[in-house]
Amino acid sequence: MSNENHDAIIVGSGHNSLVCALYLLRAGWSVRVLERADTPGGAVKTLELTEPGFRHDWAAMNISNFRNSAFYEEFGPALERQGAEFVTAENCFASVYDDGTWFGVGTDIEANVARIAALSERDAETWKSLTGSFASRAAIVGGLMSSPMKWTALTGLGFNALRQHGWGGTFDLVRFALSSPRDWLGRTFESEKVRAALAPWGMHVDYAPDIATGAIFPYLEAFGDQAGGLSLGKGGADTIVRAMVAEIEAQGGSVDCGTEVTRILHKDGKAHAVETADGRKIAANKAIIANVAPKALARMTGGTGDADYDEGLDTFRHAPGTVMIHLALSDLPDWRAGPELRDYAYVTIAPTLDTIALAYQQPMAGLLPSEPMIVVGQPTAIDPGRAPEGKHTLWLQVRMVPGDIKGDAAGQIDAADWDAALAPFSERVLDIVERHAPGLRDRILGMRCVSPRDLEADNPNLVGGDQVCGSHHLSQNAMFRPVRGYSDGTTPLEGLYHTGAAVWPGASTGAGPGTLLGRMLT
């Protein structure tokens, strides 16, 4: 056993781990974070993936939820002293359609309303009404998603809703919270283009148009972006990771990369140490905190002794995978729908709700999607310092793809694995982008395509390329995330805790799991 003496050992250096570490350090704990990779941050990191001087966000790009989080409200000044910097996109997101038109959302409310009015006067009035009620409704919805799944917290939120909205308004909120994106968007807007522009934000967290409880995400993203803009990390999303690591070290903690934890040691129902791949055993006095996928936690413990909990970890379901395509460009795309789109942080290619639904159902059946939903990130339109002067990066995210390939929905790609399928599928994606931005290929200076298997090899938490560490559907969310009775990060083993996107409130750069656990332990 190592002679080192730590109050807490944290396995994995994803942003939830780093957030939790800072809460523990503030409370006077000694903390050591152990990370198998050479770079901290999990899916939040920025690398030169194509050509020298072009910095690409590996997975996460939008860090608005981090900047607006309860954690950042407490620790933001310290992180800014450590170099955390942000840039705000006032032109947040847009969608392009097959008829050559577009619709987008930014911080200019009048401009948003005017664009909607050109599609539907009724929808423009609805948008103004939703804008007016956003602050009070978001406080309730956001409060739910940032509270522990305990009756005391839920009861308090319920009383607040009743006080502010009455019984009728509260039941309307409940109905909204249970709605699928298609259900809410269909009741709320008559323009198919407005519906299609908002619906993709559900797909970011595994909510296709017809999945219940997914309506919250298009709503929060659209009206949250309108209220405050969309935040990117200056120079890359890793600005928050570098700042948190620096602050951890300033407070006496450590983040050790290249150190893989293979086992969590426990005896008589209590976890007491971890074992690393090179055979070292490192003890923890108060807590071992594992930021790992549920099945990995089961492997590391070898079983906790609680049959129901262990089965819950073993049967935890992951969402479909993701393909990332990183491009170094000589110039931003020339969008067929209009030059204004060059100013947007995101341009999504998913022209209808049905297109989005099919782009989810085909991967769920193991098929490469025939018309995948493509999110085109244009970070250098907002933060030009990520590329050499006059040049740009493009961040293409394909949501969703199968982790294991059973076939091709278009019948064109004859490949049974991602080693063979990545190149032709990436060409399909570029063909679709080229339809909306002619001449894109002529501007490519460098390209790096990343398959679901590549994502998992880099970060085992991204099982099958699942960037949200598990389906967020109702049967595996809230009090059931990751296992009923353990949504607060506790486990059946005394001294062992679980954090990360697999734990309530799930995936987001807002670091809810790390915040809730850090507060609970201190």
CA distance 276 to 280: 5
Residue 158 has pLDDT above 70, yes or no: no
Percent of the chain past pLDDT 70, that is, above it, reads 95
Q: What are the tens digits of pLDDT across the range 97-130?
A: 999 999 999 999 999 999 999 999 999 999 999 9
Average pLDDT, the chain: 95
At 156 the pLDDT is: 59
Q: What confidence category does residue 299 fall into, taking pLDDT thresholds of 50, 70 and 90?
A: very high
Task: Spell out the alpha helix ranges (H) of 349-491.
Answer: 353-364, 379-382, 418-436, 452-458
Q: Give tens-digit pLDDT for 39-91.
A: 999 999 999 999 999 999 999 999 999 999 999 999 999 999 999 999 999 99
Mean pLDDT of 160-180: 78
Opening angle at CA 374, ends 373 and 379, nearest 5? 150
Confidence (pLDDT) at 140: 74
Ordered structural domains, the chain, with CATH: 6-84+236-316+470-521 (3.50.50.60), 108-217 (no CATH), 318-458 (3.90.660)
Mean per-residue pLDDT, 331-346: 98
- The answer, yes or no, to whether residue 157 has pLDDT greater than 60, is no
Residue 151: pLDDT over 60? no
Q: The pTM is what? A: 0.95
3, pLDDT greater than 80: no
Identify the CA nearest to 365 among candidates 199, 184, 208, 204. Answer: 208
Token pair 């990332």 in the structure block, residue: 324
pLDDT digits (tens, 9 = 90+) for 348-373: 999 999 999 999 999 999 999 999 99
At 166, is the pLDDT very low, low, confident or very high (cuts 50, 70, 90)?
Answer: confident
Q: How many residues are listed for the chain in this entry?
A: 522
| pLDDT tens digits for range 225-256 | 999 999 999 999 999 999 999 999 999 999 99
Residue 473 has pLDDT above 70, yes or no: yes
Q: How confident is the model at residue 138 (pLDDT cuts 50, 70, 90)?
A: confident
- Asked if 323 and 456 touch (Cβ cutoff 8 Å), the reply is no
Confidence (pLDDT) at 161: 67
Tokens for 11, please give them. 């396995």
Cβ(12)–Cβ(297) below 8 Å: no
What pLDDT, on a 0 to 100 scale, did the predictor assign at position 162? 67
What is the pLDDT confidence band of residue 5, given thresholds at 50, 70 and 90?
Answer: confident
Residues 6+ apart with CB under 8 A from 365: 402, 406
Cα four-point dihedral sign 379, 383, 386, 392:
positive
CA distances from 175 to 165, 192, 214 (A): 14, 22, 12
Alpha-helical (H) ranges within 397-502 are 418-436, 452-458
What integer is the mean pLDDT of 378-402?
Answer: 97
pLDDT(291) > 70: yes
**Dist. CA 310–CA 127, nearest whole Å:** 46
**Cβ burial 199-213 (10 Å sphere, 16+ → b, else e):** bbbbbbbbbbbbbeb
Report d(CA 215, CA 91) in Å as an integer. Answer: 22
Grade residue 172 by pLDDT with cuts at 50, 70 and 90.
confident
